[in-house]
Amino acid sequence: MFCLVLHSHLPWLANHGRWPVGEEWLYQSWAASYLPVVDVLRRLGEKGHENLLSLGITPVLAAQLDDPHCLEGLHHWLGNWQLRAHEAALRPGGRDLGAREHANSAWALQQFETLWRHGASPLFRELIEANTIEVLGGPLAHPFQPLLDPRLRAFSLAEGLTDAKTRWGRRPRGIWAPECGFTPSMEHGYDLAGVKHFMVDGPALHGDTTLGRPVGEADVVAFGRDLPVSYRVWSPKSGYPGHAAYRDFHTFDHATGLKAYRVTSRKSTEKAPYDPHLAAAAVKQHVDDFVHTVVRRLSSESERIGRPALAVAAFDTELFGHWWYEGPAWLEQVLQALPEAGVRVGTLTQARAEGFVGQSVHISDSSWGSGKDWRVWAGDQVADLVQLNAEVVETALAALDKNPSELRNRTNDQLIREALMAVSSDWAFMVSKDSAAGYARDRAHRHAHATREIAEAMTSGQFAKAERLAQDWNQVDGLFPALDARRLQV
């Protein structure tokens, strides 16, 4: 069996800047990845395809895809995209680019206005109920769980699964743990939360990813990312998106912000114009290569272990369309070509139910980041953020424990909401990778500041002030309205 797993995630960006980092990041990913990937899944589902893949959607991304402010912002962004296409068409030599981008933006506007304008949840619920996909959930706000206080870790996971059920009508049985972060004993927390399976990176299972593995004594199975298969598509050094025929992500026309070139040179001034026909031929070539890779891998691993083997390929959803423009076309063709080549395509739930599970294993500290350890989220470069996170969590829990409430208390809710936002794994990742590190540090400290000032007002007995502060911060960070701090009280 072959399982494709996609991980869809962006940090909370609404009301936190626009460009170059902020809401623009959300709208680019939404238009380039989420719209076309969902379209691929819907069309394949209409053709009768079922159990195509396991789709991870983090609660913080799901919140943005349903948020009225974000929906309005995307609609404006799509309209602006079309205006930029018209501008490109009027410039010397820009006719082909303008026509291509006009067609793309018109399609995106039509998709949004007919299917997405009331949020993403109805679309995902439709795919889930039709058994087109399995959905994977996760904890609120995407924390790096191994470094998080166990009490807040359990709360975040339970609330995340509840949030998923509210949006999609089903509580996910599987999760994509943020950053695939793991430390021993977490399997028991998963078991208690009703999680039946989760993803780890291949090295966490010592490279033997041909079967899912129960973890310790818990009734939960870890599925490992098959690196030889996954790295054919995307790796730190190679992969299909780097092919010279594909549209270049990094180089764009400065007058319009549109991407007019293909990957032909490291120098932006020497890149060749994008040619859709060359790109289509490369997609076909890479579909064939991937199918052959999967067939060979499954054949060799089945022979090695003496039973039918499993291969799990896992990627960020944003790779398909946003980072790799041709990715959705490749995805659609692969999902049809694999069954034609005799490969059974299924979900992680199916893999477990059909016995693609081996002997139990003990997993050590791990992630899918650099070095497959915790250095990205706990290394020297982010030691200050690790300390900040610990202080924020301690402050929030102490204030909550000092001021418990039998009734729903919006101040307590906002206190925990801001603490969870402060400890998002995204901030340390962006600093370690030097990707908008200033923005990331600012976000971490801003949420930490919100947590502190609400907590200080509460612990000093200034409850009216604490309530005003909580209301003000909620105007910016009002996601997860069902979050109830009473479920975190001692």
Instruction: Give pLDDT tens digits for 145-193.
Output: 999 999 999 999 999 999 999 999 999 999 999 999 999 999 999 999 9
Do residues 130 and 231 share a domain?
Answer: yes
Name the nearest CA neighbour of 413 among 426, 425, 404. 404
Residue 489 has a pLDDT of 80
How is residue 35 written in tokens? Answer: 């719209």
Annotated active-site residue in 101, 163, 179, 326: 179
Do residues 475 and 417 share a domain?
Answer: yes
Rg, C-alpha atoms of the chain: 23
Beta bridge partners of 117: none
What's the mean per-residue pLDDT of the chain? 96
| Active site annotation includes 316 | yes
The Cα 449–Cα 451 span in angstroms is: 5
- Residue 321 CB contacts under 8 Å (≥ 6 apart), including other chains: 32, 33, 35, 36, 37, 327, 328
Residue 179 has a pLDDT of 97
| Active site annotation includes 354 | no
**361 lies in some domain:** no
Q: Give residue 235's pLDDT band: very low, low, confident or very high (50, 70, 90).
A: confident
Do residues 115 and 252 share a domain?
Answer: yes
How is residue 89 written in tokens? Answer: 């068409």
Q: Which helix H or strand E contains 422, and what residues bound it? A: helix 410-422
Cα–Cα separations (whole angstroms), residue 372 to 70, 95, 302:
34, 46, 26
- pTM of this prediction exceeds 0.85: yes
Annotated active-site residue in 39, 50, 253, 316: 316
**405 lies in some domain:** yes
Q: Is 308 exposed, middle or buried (0-12, 13-18, 19+ CB in 10 A)?
A: middle
Other C-beta atoms lying within 10 Å of the C-beta of residue 435: 12
Name the nearest CA neighbour of 30 among 327, 433, 320, 257. 320
Do residues 337 and 446 share a domain?
Answer: no
| CATH number reported for the structural domain that contains residue 445 in this entry | 1.20.1430.10
**227 lies in some domain:** yes
Do residues 342 and 440 share a domain?
Answer: no
Cα–Cα separations (whole angstroms), residue 387 to 61, 381, 392:
26, 12, 9
**374 lies in some domain:** no
What letter represents residue 467's amino acid?
E
Q: Give the alpha-carbon dihedral of 122, 123, 126, 129, to 10 degrees.
A: -90
**366 lies in some domain:** no
| CATH number reported for the structural domain that contains residue 319 in this entry | 3.20.110.10
Q: Give the alpha-carbon dihedral of 204, 193, 53, 207, to 10 degrees.
A: 10
Q: Give the alpha-carbon dihedral of 26, 27, 30, 32, to 10 degrees.
A: -120
Q: pLDDT tens digits for 42-94?
A: 999 999 999 999 999 999 999 999 999 999 999 999 999 999 999 999 999 89
The Cα 65–Cα 93 span in angstroms is: 36
What letter represents residue 437's amino acid?
A
Q: What range does the domain containing 118 cover? A: 2-353
Name the nearest CA neighbour of 385 among 477, 447, 450, 478. 447
- Return the residue matching tokens 């009027």: 90
Number of domains in the chain: 2
Do residues 258 and 318 share a domain?
Answer: yes
Do residues 160 and 306 share a domain?
Answer: yes
Whether the per-residue pLDDT at 22 is higher than 90: the answer is: yes
Do residues 190 and 44 share a domain?
Answer: yes
Other C-beta atoms lying within 10 Å of the C-beta of residue 340: 8
